[in-house]
Chain A
Amino acid sequence: MDDSPLLTVEDLSTEIHTSRGPFKAVDGVSFTVRPGEMFGIVGESGSGKSVLGRTVMGLYTSGPTMTVTGKVVLDGTDVHALTAAGRRRLWRSDVGMVFQDPATALNPVKKIGRHLTEGMRGLSRTAARTRAEELLRLVGIPEPRRRLGQYPHELSGGMRQRVVIAIALAGEPSLLIADEPTTALDVTVQKQILDLLGRLQAELGTAIVLISHNLAVVAGRADRVAVMYAGRLAELAPAAALFAGPRHPYTEALLASVPRLADPPHSPLQAIDGAPPDMAAPPPGCRFAPRCRYASDACETSPALVADHGHAYACHHPVSSIGGA
Chain B
Amino acid sequence: MAGTGTTHLRPGERVLSVEDLVVEFPVGRGRTVHAVSGISFDLLDGETLGILGESGCGKSSAGRAVMQLPPPTAGSVKLNGTELTGLGRSALRDSRRKMQMILQNPVAALNPRRKVADLVAEGPAVWGGKPDRSRIEAALEAVGLDPATVWDRRPHELSGGQCQRVCIARALLLDPRVLICDEPVSSLDVSVQAQILNLLESTRARLGLSMIFIAHDLAVVKNVSDRIMVMYLGKICEVVPSGALAGSALHPYTRLLLASVPDAPQGDAEPENTELPSPMAPPTGCRFRTRCPLATDLCAKEEPNLRQTTDGHHVACHMV
Contacts and interface: CB of A to CB of B under 8 A. Distances in A.
Interface of A: 44-45, 156, 158-159, 186-192, 194-195, 198, 213-217, 219-221, 253-254, 257-273, 275-276
Contacts of B162: 275
B191 A271 contact: yes
B275 A220 contact: no
Contacts of A267: 223
Given A187-B54, A266-B201, A271-B198, A257 B262 contact: no
A325 B248 CA distance: 38
Interface string B116-136: 000000000000000000000
A219 B257 CA distance: 18
Given A257-B191, A257-B193, 20 more contacts: A44-B190, A159-B275, A187-B216, A187-B257, A188-B257, A191-B261, A194-B262, A214-B262, A215-B190, A216-B263, A220-B266, A258-B194, A259-B217, A259-B223, A265-B224, A266-B201, A266-B224, A271-B191, A271-B194, A275-B159
Contacts of B246: 261-262
A156 B277 CA distance: 11
Given A257-B190, A275-B161, A269 B198 contact: yes
Given A213-B190, A216-B261, A254-B191, A265 B226 contact: yes
Interface residues of B, number: 43
Contact of A272 (B194, B243, B245, B260): B194
A215 B264 CA distance: 13
A268 B217 CA distance: 17
Contacts of A276: 189, 191
Given A187-B216, A271-B191, A220 B263 contact: yes
Contacts of B264: 191
B197 interface: yes
Contacts of A191: 259-262, 264
Interface in B122-163: 159, 161-162
Nearest to B275: A156
Contacts of B18: none
B287 interface: no
A268 B261 contact: no
Contacts of B263: 216, 219-220
B92 interface: no
Interface in B185-209: 189-195, 197-198, 201
A219 B262 contact: yes
Contact of B274 (A188, A259, A265): A188
Query: Which of A186, A217, A262, A276 is packed against the most chain B CB atoms within 10 Å?
Result: A186
A211 to B, nearest CB: 14
Nearest to A262: B246
22 contacts: A156-B275, A186-B55, A189-B274, A191-B259, A192-B274, A195-B266, A213-B189, A213-B190, A216-B261, A219-B263, A220-B262, A221-B262, A257-B193, A259-B194, A261-B246, A261-B258, A263-B223, A265-B222, A266-B201, A271-B195, A275-B161, A276-B191
A45 B193 CA distance: 12
A153 to B, nearest CB: 14
Contacts of B189: 44-45, 213, 276
Query: Which of B189, B190, B195, B245 is packed against the most chain A CB atoms within 10 Å?
Result: B190
B17 interface: no
Contacts of B274: 158, 188-189, 192
Query: Which of A156, A213, A215, A271 is packed against the most chain B CB atoms within 10 Å?
Result: A271
Nearest to A186: B54
A268 B194 CA distance: 9
B242 interface: yes
A3 to B, nearest CB: 26
Interface string B200-240: 01000000000000001111101111100000000000000
B256 interface: yes
Nearest to A256: B194
Contacts of B243: 264-265
Contacts of A271: 191-192, 194-195, 197-198
Interface in B240-286: 242-243, 245-246, 256-264, 266, 270, 274-276
Nearest to B54: A186
Query: Which of A189, A198, A215, A221 is packed against the most chain B CB atoms within 10 Å?
Result: A189
Nearest to B242: A265
A188 B264 CA distance: 12
B256 A188 contact: yes
A273 B144 CA distance: 11
A264 B55 CA distance: 26
A103 to B, nearest CB: 13
A275 B220 CA distance: 20
Contacts of B195: 271-273
B190 A258 contact: yes
B42 to A, nearest CB: 19
A195 B270 contact: yes
A158 B242 CA distance: 29
